[in-house]
Amino acid sequence: MANTRLAVGDRAPAFTLPDSTGTPVSLSDYAGRRVVVYFYPAAMTPGCTKQACDFRDNLSDFAASGLDVIGISPDKPEKLAKFVAADGLTFPLLSDPDKKVLTEWGAFGEKKLYGKTVTGVIRSTFVVGADGTIEIAQYNVRATGHVAKLRRDLGL
């Protein structure tokens, strides 16, 4: 089955998901602000840790440009809490165990892994504008070097 992908100009699908403390976080909480929403396969794996730490280390530059950052994975809040604590992550990580939000954003479905087609989380990053529309949609991003590329794309 083909993944439905979001494109620049599309309305960002609304969501409310629990963060690492179980507190619900909604995309609407960020209305009027720009937000980076990124989807990653699994907390505490090498690539996802590298990506999360890159976002953490560049958070002040994103914030200075009026951008918040949210990470979303299928991990349960308890695992996210360990990830936050282990790596001192300072932005919300949200839990989507039923993969409903991942699917709505086109970040779950068929992907190539080591030459095989598998179903799983597609590492993806979006920038949602203050008006709730997609400004940047990037699928199949690499964990390493992605934040630096996003900074260039955003002129940070």
As annotated, the active-site residues are 48
| C-alpha dist (Å) from residue 100 to 41, 120, 122, 146 | 14, 13, 13, 24
The string over 9-43, giving b where at least 16 C-beta atoms fall within 10 Å of a residue's C-beta and e elsewhere, is ebebbebebbbbeeeebebeebeeebbbbbbbbeb
